Amino acid sequence: MNRRNFFKKTAVAGAATLLIPEIVNAAMPEFPSTNETQGSQLSKGNIILFQGDSITDAGRNRENEDKANDQQMLGRGYPLFAAAGILAQHAEKVLKIYNRGISGNKVFQLAERWNKDCIDLKPDVLSILIGVNDYWHTRNGQYKGTLEVYSTDYRTLIARTLKELPAAKIVICEPFLIHGGSALDDTWEPVFKAYRQVAKTIANEFKATFIPFQSVFNEALKKAPAAYWGADGVHPSLAGAQLMAQAWLKGTKI
Amino acid sequence: MNRRNFFKKTAVAGAATLLIPEIVNAAMPEFPSTNETQGSQLSKGNIILFQGDSITDAGRNRENEDKANDQQMLGRGYPLFAAAGILAQHAEKVLKIYNRGISGNKVFQLAERWNKDCIDLKPDVLSILIGVNDYWHTRNGQYKGTLEVYSTDYRTLIARTLKELPAAKIVICEPFLIHGGSALDDTWEPVFKAYRQVAKTIANEFKATFIPFQSVFNEALKKAPAAYWGADGVHPSLAGAQLMAQAWLKGTKI
């Protein structure tokens, strides 16, 4: 079965409807409405892994990192809220959900720890959000990676993952800016948009599910300013993290 | 406007659908389906307060207790997950959500701190979950309160609240046992069920919204054992807290 189609099965009887704010529905018109599609192709005992940088890490407790479904292990970001939704919804499936995001990571740093923090966990669903540091850390000259490095490293990482875990369902999350945030200025967007495009291109190449977080935050900013969704423009607030989780759940149909 | 009717208005255009697991829908048949009713009568700047014992407290950071909507102030329990849903859904309303639950509290202890931790906050929506300690703490002889004390104290507290805050919408949450939990035995239910009935009776008397958490957990136990929803039978797990939040959101129609 094609990985993309994994997430496109129709609803199972009695499936829940999903808390999808207007913002998410408006940002994701290409995804079918939840009532038509909500359901899950997850199998009993499936393992879900969230990977990424500080947005994923979100203060998770590393001492419990092998303790599936533990709240403090999951951190305080979108993986927590996505996991909560999944665990309440699919109790009978005895799923195991992990967060292995690490603050500051760029793609090459995921690669360095990929055996321990991804392959060895044998995820059935692997979600990755990476890219903001690949650009951000070039701005002060401490990191020399280019857009091409991001692209090559990311493509190599996904190919390696699918070689080791050919049945894994891959979710590629769009790196995003919450425009108006205090850490950003107008010089970010013209450069950073190319990083977003790379993530989308790689998702298409590997038939991965792509979660359009930039569209979600662009919609969100019509309702409230960056201070509400993520004050520095990079790290989401509680409301921002919840919005991401809802977009993730809608996009994956989990 | 009658307080009960506050929560029974029909949907506003474009309102979201809500993540309501089968469990919650099965447990709350008396509530209309979300698609018919989802919406919110919350007004801009409304204040929502969660009050209760350890189930509400859930490790909240007391140093930030005046910082509305702060994730660590909200704790790790159902108030966090309810707040996340509300804040993502109603960004334009600039709501302020607080948690003032304190571990170990019984009704009389809420009363002792009610001016500071409720009245002074002037909540537009006040949610209370209290009762398990009113029974639990009698089991080792350290607390002498009876069912009648619980009933009288609770009724007095709600009357006092509505005298001070006549427009407040009151949500009374059913105290519950997660049957099979390690802290419980078969002697709990025959006594504790009367405490639940008191909470429901008081909700009816004051036309408050009643959230039937016992029904929710009874349904949940058909899908997974107590270890999944709350190992000790009193304190919910991540999945249990999310389920409570979803029941709360469904019940209040916020």
pLDDT reported for residue B6:
44
Under CATH, which number does the domain B2-252 receive? 3.40.50.1110
Q: Closest chain B residue to A38 measured between Cα atoms? A: B19
pLDDT reported for residue A40:
63
Contact flag B17-A14 (C-beta cutoff 8 Å): no
Is residue A23 less than 8 Å (CB to CB) from chain B? yes
Structural domain boundaries of chain B? 2-252
pLDDT reported for residue B43:
93
ipTM of model: 0.90
Q: What are phi and psi of B208, to 5 degrees?
A: -85, 160
Overall size of chain A counted in residues? 254
The DSSP call for residue A174 is: P
> For residues A248 and A82, is the Cβ–Cβ distance under 8 A?
yes
Is residue B130 less than 8 Å (CB to CB) from chain A? no
Q: Closest chain B residue to A243 measured between Cα atoms? A: B88
- The closest alpha carbon to A131, from A104, A157, A97, belongs to A104
Is residue B92 less than 8 Å (CB to CB) from chain A? yes
pLDDT reported for residue A37:
45
B153 is catalytic: no
- pLDDT higher at B177 or A250: B177
Is residue B39 less than 8 Å (CB to CB) from chain A? no
pLDDT bucket at A25, cuts 50 / 70 / 90: confident
Nearest CA-CA distance, residue A145 and chain B, Å: 34
pLDDT bucket at A125, cuts 50 / 70 / 90: very high
A40 is catalytic: no
pLDDT digits (tens, 9 = 90+) for A181-232: 999 999 999 999 999 999 999 999 999 999 999 999 999 999 999 999 999 9
pLDDT bucket at A27, cuts 50 / 70 / 90: confident
pLDDT reported for residue B13:
29
Crossing angle (nearest 10°) for helices B188-205 and B147-164: 20
State the DSSP H helix or E strand holding residue B96, giving kind and residue range, or none if neither: strand B96-99
Q: Which residue has the tokens 């009374």?
A: B172
Give the type of residue at B188. Answer: W
pLDDT digits (tens, 9 = 90+) for A102-111: 999 999 999 9
pLDDT digits (tens, 9 = 90+) for A127-162: 999 999 999 999 988 899 999 999 999 999 999 999
Token code pair at residue A180: 């108006």
Which residue in A23, A80, A242 is closest to B85 by CB distance?
A242
Concatenate the DSSP letters of all residues of A35-89 into one string.
Answer: HHH----PPTT-EEEEEESHHHHTT--GGGTTSTT-HHHH-SSHHHHHHHHHHHH
N- to C-terminal Cα distance for chain B?
17
Return the minimum-mean-pLDDT range out of A196-205, B2-11, B43-52, B161-170: B2-11
B124 is catalytic: no
- pLDDT higher at B167 or A37: B167
Distance CA(B160)–CA(A180), nearest Å, equals 45
Which residue in B16, B22, B35 is closest to A19 by CB distance?
B16
Whole-model pTM over 0.80: yes
User: Among the options A40, A54, A127, A151, which is catalytic?
Assistant: A54
Nearest CA-CA distance, residue B191 and chain A, Å: 29
pLDDT digits (tens, 9 = 90+) for A30-63: 776 554 445 567 899 999 999 999 999 999 999 9
Nearest CA-CA distance, residue B241 and chain A, Å: 8
Residues of A in contact with B220 (CB under 8 A): 91
Average pLDDT, chain A: 90
Nearest CA-CA distance, residue A211 and chain B, Å: 17
